[in-house]
Every structure is written in C-alpha cells, then in structure tokens.
Chains A and B, each alone.
Chain A
C-alpha cells in the first residue's frame, strides 16, 4: 500500500490536527452511581488527522451530532482536546497560556450561528467594535474610529450603522456585524459554524458573497461548517464529511460532490432535496439514524447503516486512505465509488 508522502516541498499547512480526539464524560445520575453503572463517555471527535492550507475554505458536513461544532470549538481553542494535538503554523497550540493564548485566539476567530446571543443588545455597533479593537490593542486613539468605519465599509453596512443597536438590524446585517467584529482582530483563520443557517435564502447569498470576497481580498483561511450542502459546495475548495466524530471522506469540493466515494457521503448527498421536480428520489437514500456517540459501533462506524457492509466491515476499522481525487475511509471505496 502506498502511504501519502509527508509534505515535502509543498505549502506548509496553516493548521494541522493530529490524532485529535474529544470525549465528554456524561454526568452520572444518582441512580447510575447507586447501580454502579460505568461512567458514560460521549466520543464527539475521534482520532482526526487534518491539514488546512493557508487561504483555503474547508467545508465540514455531516449529520446533527456528528461532532462538527466540537471540531470547530477545538480549533478555536474553546475546548481542550482529550487526546492529540493541534499545530498552528507548525507549533502546538494545545495548552497555550497567557499572551500566547491570546495571540492565537486573535488569529483564529470563531463566528457563531446566532448573532443575537453573541452581540450585546445594549451596545451600539461602534461600541462593540471599539471594545474588540481596544481589548486586543489593535489600534489606539483616533485610529480606532477610523478602523471602525473601515470595517463597516468592509462588510458593506450602510453609513450610520455604527450608532445603531443590534435590534435595529435585519438578521443578515447582524450577521455582518458579527463578521466585522471577527475581522477587527485581523485574524488569519475564520471558523464559521452554521454562520448563515438561520438566514433566509436571499440574505444567505449576501453573507456568503461577502465571505468569499473578503477571503479573496484578505487571504483568510475559512472553516465552513454548514448543513446546507449546496452552499458548502459553492464556497468550499475542499470538503470533509464527518460521521460519528471521524472523517470518512475528504477531497476537492467539486470532485466530492459530483462523485462521492464513501457510501455515507453518497447517502448524505442523495438525501438532500434536488431542485429538479422531474428528478424526484426513488429509494430512500439512507436508512436508520446516527448511532449514539456513547456507543460507537466497532469496525467501520458506518457498517450498521451501510448497504454494502460485509463481515470485514464489522470487524476491521477502515483507515482514511487516498481514493480518487481525495481520501476515503471505506474498505470497498473503489468498487462502491465507481458503482
């Protein structure tokens, strides 16, 4: 078997996840303790290896509860991984403290789905942005206000927006305020967790256009977590498909969407409603539900739902390996992918 060669001359990843895992211990109820039931552990992220290149948009998709947000929060430093390492520009950032932690937090900005809860309702847009700029000492004196105007211009908010409060804006505009706040810290990497999911389609387009434009302009690296597959396909250079906390397939966006290789990716993409009424689905795309992350099946984690599963799949965990244009974790990816 040919192993992927370690990166030689190629570009250095901005971010590398190395065997990254995150487990949450479930709080034991009194009855559990009395019955001496073992502590339950949620395996939210399992042994993920991933390189993110500077300037790329990496899309992350998968069913609810598969660990997308946990992965995003690990990268943003909001959780400390239970195992594995995160390298940023080649240096470990797990367990950073003090000034170096703050520097990392500034360069990797998380943006949240719900702009209501992440914006202070009693602060004007100007105050919100000024606060971010001063806390991180990005500018001082008169330069602060100049920067505020620059940022609002950057996210295409109308003049006069600076002195309004969050409730005076539409959802899409509030989302743009959130983006302006993240950009105020001049980050290298944006982690967008369901950034536009709550917005109407017509407003989504505005925010997505802005994101792509800013990225090209500022050379940002973006992790784009979303459940809208059409949107992920549109914005991403590469896409990772997550199942039960592990990457089952990763590859260039167009290749992955036009020809998924893993049976789970195939099912997930086929379940997404098509816009062509004459192409209505026939057989159900995927049966059953995501198993509980409290008890991840042995062997291939997908075998319980997989139409192609064999004895080998129940026994042996498939490794993520090069298949076609990307990497796939399935014993039979070649035959299934080409079917």
Chain B
C-alpha cells in the first residue's frame, strides 16, 4: 500500500480533551490515537457533536474557552501539547494550517481579499510587498478564482459563498503548509463547487506531499477523496482503516449503521435503515462503549467495559466487543452487494 511507505508526519497518541470542572469533566475527545503520513488524506467522520472539530482544534492548540488537552501530539516527532503559545504560533499557520467550519465568519468583511492573503504572507513568509502580491494572485489562481489579478481589491461580500470558501483555502495554503486541517470545507457548498475544491485538495496533497485531515459527515466525500478514514462516536474512535475497507466492508456497528442509512441500492420510497435513538450527551456517556445505548448487537458487558481499538486485518482497527454479531446483524445486505 502506497500509504504505508510514506513518513508519518503527525502522530496523535491518547488525545483527551475535556471541558468543565476537574471534578465533573465533559470529555469531548477521549483517548484518540491516529497517524497521518506525508501526502495522505485522512477522513474524520461522525455525527454532529462527536468531537471532530475539537480533535482538529486540539492539534492546533486552539481550544476555547479553556479546555484541557492531554496525551501526545507528535508533529514530526515534536510533542505540541506542552508548547507555549509563542512557539505554537510559529507552527500554526505556517507548517500546520486550518480551514474552519464557518468560512463566512472567518473572513474580515472590512478588508479586501488581497490584503487578507497578504497579511498571512507577512506573518508566515519573508516575501517583500511585490512578491506577496504575486503570490496572492498565484494562490487565488490556484484555488480557481477567475481573473485573480482583478479581484485582489474586492471585499468578501463581492464574492459568492463558494468563492469565499476558496479564498479561505487560499489563505490557509499561503505558507505552503505541510499539514492541512480542513473542517467541513465543502459542507455549505454546492456539489459542483465541492467537486472543484476536493479536487484541489487532492492535487495539493498528491503533488506537494501535503498531509490532510478532512472532517466531513458525508461518506460520499470520504469515498471520493480520502486514503483512509477514521469514524468517531461520542468522542472516541470506533473504526479506522483504508477508505475502501471501511466503506465497502465496515465492521463497527455504528459505521455499519451509518453506511446503511444512506440511500443506495434500495428500492425507491422503501424505508431506510435508521440507527435508533439519538446521540448521547457528553455528560451521559457510559463507562463502556459510547454506542452501547443505540447498538443493535450490544451485550451485557458493553455499557460497562470499554472496547479497545483492535486490529481487524492489516490496515484496520475496530473498537467493539461483538464484531461477529455485528457482521451477522448487518450481513445480509452487505453480502448481497
């Protein structure tokens, strides 16, 4: 597998991020470990509130209001968790860049687009004014903004939603980051623009070796774009593996249910599978498996004993006590494909 030979640039070990008081913590990310290699795109999927954004923010050291981060975040071997703000700032925006979930609110409405890109170049490169302007044009061009030169003096409101999102990407890419954290970069966009942006991210990753963590809740986006995918539930990883493995042959009951509830290969207007119940609140997570309350194959032990991620095949790990039952429960249709 191509992915395996590349150097691991990010190695997250036992990440735990909590809010609230020490006595009654709200654990948003719980014992999460994964790696991302150079040139690799890792998808991070899961329901709303499962901890995807907080995972990315923890890597970047921007958990506000004050959350507590524990574990190790090894960036090219250096642990980011104990770093102070000044040293983090040198890495943030330069080596590691992030595209935030709400693009509209992260552009300054009072500054021209050119100036906002330029600001980022001042902060993270040694380019002079002329070179910055050239680079800004190059970046807008790269993200597919037509007539880039003439649009530097435009304000954000003069751009469409899709174009603003691309400007955000241009800003994130200004410093040639080695790792891009993309939080739902296309969720608010049309499939046509989404298609263009995902292609761009893919080609940057392939051509420049940029590692990417792509947060999404759209399995189609994962299938089209990611090399590997990690599935989160209730702040924990429940399954991680290659995209093909997870999408074609998921093993965790949550991943299986999630994939089953997407209409594909079902007769029109017949009932879709739906995972019973609703996602748990952070303060009501059981000590055992976070999914146990909604799991169709949960046994007596599930709510009390935490399942650990375990190998299921060479490149995949799953955290579930009842893998066989899960396959049997969801099996028939999966097998029919």
- Residue in contact with A212 in the complex, picked from B48, B219, B271, CB distance below 8 Å: B271
Contact of B191 with A by CB under 8 A? yes
Evaluate contact between A200 and B47: CB separation under 8 angstroms.
Answer: yes
B50 nearest in chain A by CB position: A200
Segment touching A, from B20-28, B126-134, B261-269, B306-314: B261-269
How far does the alpha carbon of A233 sit from the alpha carbon of B264 in the complex, in Å? Answer: 10
B274 nearest in chain A by CB position: A205
Evaluate contact between B192 and A268: CB separation under 8 angstroms.
Answer: yes
How far does the alpha carbon of A271 sit from the alpha carbon of B199 in the complex, in Å? Answer: 11
* Interface residue ranges of A232-274 to B (CB < 8 Å): 233-236, 253-254, 267-268, 271-274
Contact of A166 with B by CB under 8 A? no
Given contacts A170-B278, A234-B263, A277-B224, 6 further A-B contacts (CB under 8 A): A200-B279, A201-B219, A202-B257, A205-B272, A209-B272, A275-B220
Contact of A231 with B by CB under 8 A? yes
Contact with A along B157-174 (1 / 0, CB 8 A): 000111100000000000
Segment touching B, from A78-86, A100-108, A120-128, A281-289: A281-289
How far does the alpha carbon of A205 sit from the alpha carbon of B270 in the complex, in Å? Answer: 11
- Residue in contact with A205 in the complex, picked from B224, B261, B264, B279, CB distance below 8 Å: B261
How far does the alpha carbon of A64 sit from the alpha carbon of B186 in the complex, in Å? Answer: 13
Contact of A113 with B by CB under 8 A? no
Contact of A278 with B by CB under 8 A? yes
Tell whether A274 pairs with B195 under 8 Å between CB atoms, given A202-B257, A234-B263.
Answer: no
Contact of B53 with A by CB under 8 A? no
- Residue in contact with B191 in the complex, picked from A65, A212, A227, CB distance below 8 Å: A227
Evaluate contact between B192 and A200: CB separation under 8 angstroms.
Answer: no
B199 nearest in chain A by CB position: A284
A-B contacts, 11 of them at CB < 8 A, read A173-B278, A200-B279, A201-B262, A202-B257, A202-B275, A209-B271, A234-B268, A235-B268, A253-B268, A278-B244, A286-B195
Chain A proximity of B258: nearest CB distance (Å): 6
Evaluate contact between B269 and A212: CB separation under 8 angstroms.
Answer: yes
* Interface residue ranges of B27-70 to A (CB < 8 Å): 47-48
Evaluate contact between B274 and A206: CB separation under 8 angstroms.
Answer: yes
Interface size class of A (residues with CB under 8 A): 35 or more
Chain B proximity of A27: nearest CB distance (Å): 14
Evaluate contact between B223 and A234: CB separation under 8 angstroms.
Answer: no
Evaluate contact between B191 and A271: CB separation under 8 angstroms.
Answer: yes
- Complex interface: chain B residues within 8 A of A230 (CB): 220, 262-264
Tell whether A200 pairs with B217 under 8 Å between CB atoms, given A229-B191, A289-B160.
Answer: yes
Contact of A63 with B by CB under 8 A? yes
- Residue in contact with B161 in the complex, picked from A64, A212, A227, A254, CB distance below 8 Å: A64
Evaluate contact between A201 and B191: CB separation under 8 angstroms.
Answer: no
- Complex interface: chain B residues within 8 A of A97 (CB): none
Evaluate contact between A201 and B221: CB separation under 8 angstroms.
Answer: no
- Complex interface: chain B residues within 8 A of A275 (CB): 219-220, 223, 247, 262, 264
How far does the alpha carbon of A65 sit from the alpha carbon of B127 in the complex, in Å? Answer: 39
Evaluate contact between A268 and B191: CB separation under 8 angstroms.
Answer: yes
Contact of B196 with A by CB under 8 A? yes
Tell whether A271 pairs with B278 under 8 Å between CB atoms, given A202-B47, A233-B268.
Answer: no
How far does the alpha carbon of A172 sit from the alpha carbon of B277 in the complex, in Å? Answer: 10
Chain A proximity of B322: nearest CB distance (Å): 19
- Complex interface: chain B residues within 8 A of A201 (CB): 47, 217, 219, 258, 261-262
Contact with A along B231-264 (1 / 0, CB 8 A): 0000000000001100110000000011001111
Chain B proximity of A282: nearest CB distance (Å): 10
Contact with B along A157-175 (1 / 0, CB 8 A): 0000000000000111100
Contact of A36 with B by CB under 8 A? no
* Interface residue ranges of B183-231 to A (CB < 8 Å): 189-196, 198-199, 217-221, 223-225
Contact of A276 with B by CB under 8 A? yes
Most buried by B among A170, A267, A272, A277: A277
Evaluate contact between A286 and B263: CB separation under 8 angstroms.
Answer: no
- Residue in contact with A277 in the complex, picked from B194, B218, B244, B273, CB distance below 8 Å: B244
A170 nearest in chain B by CB position: B278
Chain B proximity of A329: nearest CB distance (Å): 19
Most buried by A among B189, B190, B199, B248: B190
- Complex interface: chain B residues within 8 A of A202 (CB): 47, 257-258, 261, 274-275
- Complex interface: chain A residues within 8 A of B194 (CB): 271, 273
